[in-house]
């Protein structure tokens, strides 16, 4: 009986070990751990570098990091500078507002290539207005003009409000006088 529970416990432990095993594979592939700019970041100032930190040491000979804009145009950058598990590129041209893609290709310890990409957005409020940025402003201008045209009705509304206040005030005065008398 005791042996049976021991066997059952051992079986349960083995099952648990098998379940946990995939979380710690013998030869893990390299993966991106952190990035600056971060994935899906919305930046108020254009970055001048892109830094990617990986799980494993990078091989400088097989580390590629490229930056491209929404039109898939490749942005001029320096070659990746590798420091341990971190790769950095310098951005050689000022980034205008828009969405950019960082694409990388590195090599795992077992020699297998690992690649991926992510996007970030530059939205500098001080940047000159682009056609895309000007569009949201147009409806505001139209509505502002509309408000100006609605001037007289607004004045009428104010007059009506004043009239209501005056009528209510007069009524209250009448009620008070009646109570007093």
- Please, what is the minimum distance in Å from the beta carbon of residue 114 to Cu ion? 8
- Please, what is the minimum distance in Å from the beta carbon of residue 115 to Cu ion? 13
Site for Cu ion, residues 76 to 115, rule: CB under 5 A = 110, 112
Task: With beta carbons less than 8 A apart as the criterion, state whether 66 and 55 touch.
Answer: no
Rounded alpha-carbon distances, angstroms, from residue 56 to 27, 36, 80, 137? 11, 17, 16, 47
Sign, CA dihedral 135-140-146-149, equals negative
- Please, what is the minimum distance in Å from the beta carbon of residue 26 to Cu ion? 10
- Please, what is the minimum distance in Å from the beta carbon of residue 112 to Cu ion? 3
Per-position b or e across 116-143, b if 16+ CB within 10 A of its CB: eebebebeeeebeeeeeeeeeeeeeeee
Residue sitting closest to Cu ion (CB): 112
Query: CB-wise, 56 or 77, nearer to Cu ion?
Result: 56
- Please, what is the minimum distance in Å from the beta carbon of residue 113 to Cu ion? 9
Query: CB-wise, 110 or 150, nearer to Cu ion?
Result: 110
The interface mask with Cu ion, positions 5-44, x = CB under 5 A, is ----------------------------------------
Rounded alpha-carbon distances, angstroms, from residue 125 to 45, 60, 122, 129, 133? 8, 37, 10, 9, 10
Interface with Cu ion (CB under 5 A), residue total 2
- For residues 83 and 81, what is the distance between their CA atoms, to the nearest angstrom? 7
Work out whether 62 is an interface residue with Cu ion (CB under 5 A): no
Query: CB-wise, 74 or 112, nearer to Cu ion?
Result: 112
Residues that bind Cu ion (CB under 5 A): 110, 112
């Amino acid at each position: 009986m005791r042996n049976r529970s021991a066997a059952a416990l051992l079986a349960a432990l083995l099952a648990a070990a098998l379940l946990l095993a995939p979380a710690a594979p013998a030869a893990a592939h390299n993966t991106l751990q952190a990035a600056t700019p971060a994935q899906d970041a919305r930046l108020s100032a254009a970055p001048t570098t892109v830094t990617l930190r990986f799980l494993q040491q990078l091989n400088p000979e097989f580390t590629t990091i490229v930056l491209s804009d929404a039109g898939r145009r490749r942005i001029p950058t320096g070659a990746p500078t590798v420091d341990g598990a971190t790769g950095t590129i310098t951005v050689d041209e000022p980034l205008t507002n828009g969405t950019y893609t960082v694409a990388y290709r590195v090599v795992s310890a077992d020699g297998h290539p690992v690649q991926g990409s992510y996007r970030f957005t530059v939205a500098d409020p001080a940047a000159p207005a682009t056609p895309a940025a000007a569009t949201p402003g147009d409806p505001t201008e139209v509505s502002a003009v509309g408000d100006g045209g609605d001037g007289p009705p607004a004045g009428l509304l104010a007059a009506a409000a004043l009239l209501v206040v005056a009528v209510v005030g007069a009524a209250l005065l009448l009620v008070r006088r009646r109570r007093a008398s």
